[in-house]
Each structure stands twice: as structure tokens, then as C-alpha cells.
Amino acid sequence: MDSGQDRWERDQDDPTTRHGLSSTRMTHSDEATQPHQGRERVQEEGAEDKPTPGLLVQHGGLMGQLIRLNPGVSLIGRDARHPIWFRSLAVSRDHARIHVRDDAVILQDLKSRNGTYLRGHRLGPEPVKLRENDIICISPEVRLKFLHHSPRSLKHHEEMFNKVVRDDLTGLYNRMYVVEMLEGERDRNAYRGLGLALALIDLDRFKSINDTYGHQVGDQVLIELGGLLCELIPPPGFSARLGGEEFLSVYPAESLEFACRLAETIRIRVANQPFGMQTLGFPLHLTTSIGLLFLELTETRQPDDRSEHWITRADGLLYRAKAMGRDQVMAGINRPDYWSALDNVSGEVSFSKAPGVSQARDEDPAT
């Protein structure tokens, strides 16, 4: 029987996996995550004139996100396996379903606890045909607008949404996107028998690059690091820039050991990467410190088991990696017996720093 990790590695070559985790998520494909590279747009003849149904998120999720509706039945709910997924606790696990037919798009409530509302009225069990610009409320907390526009118009909505959830400099996802989507990624991978790794990555002494060579060179270094992370973290994993020189890579992992191996690969590749050649004409050799948090496969969730807490804990591990000399990975497991407080890690795993890297113990480890 295949292990969960075997399935993930095989999925990297599966086009159904490489082109997105679900219709509610941004695409974690190589095309979508390559920073600032031209993308060819190929459309089928006549496709730009054929109306396509979609749902525009107005409240309760990533506001402005367009969910394209595929032919057939799609379930809506809090279950991360559903094509249309929302993390709000007001949304039932199996809340509603939407059926895209050749002649109509049909909405039906699935006896949800907080109801599905259309045109101001709570739906009964009977299916209802949607009309252009209908407002759909999935519980009181999620509001969607039904669109039936040309692909060109829907593409415009998607491009506008991209500007909201992507970092302008690197083209990677931003912090807002990560916070919204992490819990669903954790649940989705748990269904596949996998844990989830959060590698918080920070370039060591990056401030000196800006001070010595200027912000143009610093920006080029960040763009190149974003491209390297896209190469090292294939779909269904993804990377984001949280701010400054701090990045986050998220990827499925069967064990802490697997998560650490990939994080160590990132550290080594960064150390061997010639940064800044395009701008300077000579290479800059940099190192990175990584705080790695592994979310185990578990059926139970703790009260503080939320995306914001996970990032905070990974940040605590990153700080320890900096304090111990930089250029290393500090890893821990998101388990109650490993943590007595958000900033107090026990049972962490540390990789030794590479030979020849100087230790500046009189400097602030956070830089």
C-alpha cells in the first residue's frame, strides 16, 4: 500500500493536482507561482464568448475571490475535501450543493444548521435555479454573488483578486492568503494521511545587503529567493512572502524527518545560490535560518490550533535558529507536550550550521 508521502510525490506529476487544490483556492501550480515571468494565454476558439458560471466571494472568505463552477455537482461546506470550502464554524460540513447543467445552475441546501439564503429568504430542501447577480448566503457569515459572465470578464475578476493575495515584488502569495488558507490545507492533507510542514525562512543579515548595495539589489535577491522556493516546493505545496526577507513554505510531510530533510535542502540550496548576478555582475553568497513547525496527522484539534498560532510558533523556532548562530534549521512538532507557551519550545530538532559560517553573538539574533 502506498504511504501518504508516496501519494504526494506521485501527485507532483498529476495534472489534476498541479493545477490547484480546489476551485476555492488560488492555483498552486508552477505557472502561478513563478515570480514575474511571462505567461502565454491560450484560449479555445470561441471560448471567450461562451458564458461561464462562477461565485464571487463578498464576505466570509478571501473577499474578491472568484470560484469558477465546473459542470456537474459541487459541494459547499466546512469539510476541506469539498470543492467549495469555507473555514467558518457557522458553515456546516455539508452545507449546500450547486449543480451546473447545460440549461441552468441549481442551488440546494443540505439541511444545514444555519441555513442557505437566496434573495433574502432561507431555502427549504427544494433545489432553486440561480439567476445572474443572485446573492447567496451560506449561513449568515458567508456571502457569495452568482455570476454568469464571459471567460474574459471572469479572468478580469481573477486578475484583480491576484493583486490582493499576491506579493507585488516576488509574485508569491502574501500573509493574508496564508492565514486564510492554512487550516484548510492542514485538513486536506490529513484526509490524505499526511501532516503539514511550515518552514519559516529568513535571510541572514539581509539588512547589510540593502545598506551596502542598495534596495534595488536587495529586491533582486528577494525575487531570486522566491523563484528558488517555487523550484524546491512543488505543488501541492506553495510558498509565500510574509514581509521583508521573511518567507513561508508550506508542504505535505509524512513525518518530522521528511519535513526536516526538505527544509535542510532549502538551507543548502540558498547557501549555494549565486544571488544578485543580474544586478551586480558578481554573486552574493547568503545564508538562511529556518524555523520548521510540523503539524502531525491527528483527529483532535486544540483550542489554539489555528493558523496564526502556527506561524507564531514557527517564528519562535526561527528566533532560536538565529540565536544559535544562523544558517540552520530549528524544528519542532505542534503538539501540546512540546509547548509550554507560544515562545517556549521543547523537544526541538536542530541541524548544525554549515562549516565556515561566522557567529556574530554580539548582534541581535533577529537580524
Residue-wise pLDDT for 188-202, tens only, equals: 888 788 999 999 999
In this structure, are 300 and 209 located in the same domain? yes
In this structure, are 140 and 130 located in the same domain? yes
Residue 172: give the domain boundaries. 166-350
- Looking at 118, 146, 164, the residue that finishes a domain is 164
Tell me the whole-structure pTM to 2 decimals: 0.70
In this structure, are 160 and 174 located in the same domain? no
Q: Is the dihedral of CA 257, 297, 304, 85 positive or negative?
A: positive
Average pLDDT over residues 209-228: 96
pLDDT at res. 48:
56
The structural domain count of the chain equals 2
pLDDT at res. 367:
52
Spatial separation of the C-alpha atoms in residues 127 and 290, rounded to whole Å: 51
C-alpha cell of 247? 518567507
* Catalytic-residue membership of 245: yes
pLDDT at res. 37:
32
pLDDT at res. 174:
96
Instruction: Point out the catalytic residue in the list 180, 185, 224, 245.
Output: 245
29, 32, 33, 39: CA torsion to nearest 10: 120
158, 164, 167, 169: CA torsion to nearest 10: 80
In this structure, are 59 and 115 located in the same domain? yes
In this structure, are 269 and 283 located in the same domain? yes
- Residue 353: which pLDDT band, with cuts at 50, 70 and 90? very low
pLDDT at 15 over 60: no
Q: Residue 129 sits in a domain of what CATH number?
A: 2.60.200.20
Average pLDDT over residues 86-92: 91
Collapsed DSSP state (helix, strand, coil) of residue 295: strand
Mean pLDDT of the chain: 81
In this structure, are 89 and 106 located in the same domain? yes
Average pLDDT over residues 38-57: 62
pLDDT at res. 334:
86
pLDDT at res. 347:
42
pLDDT at 355 over 50: no
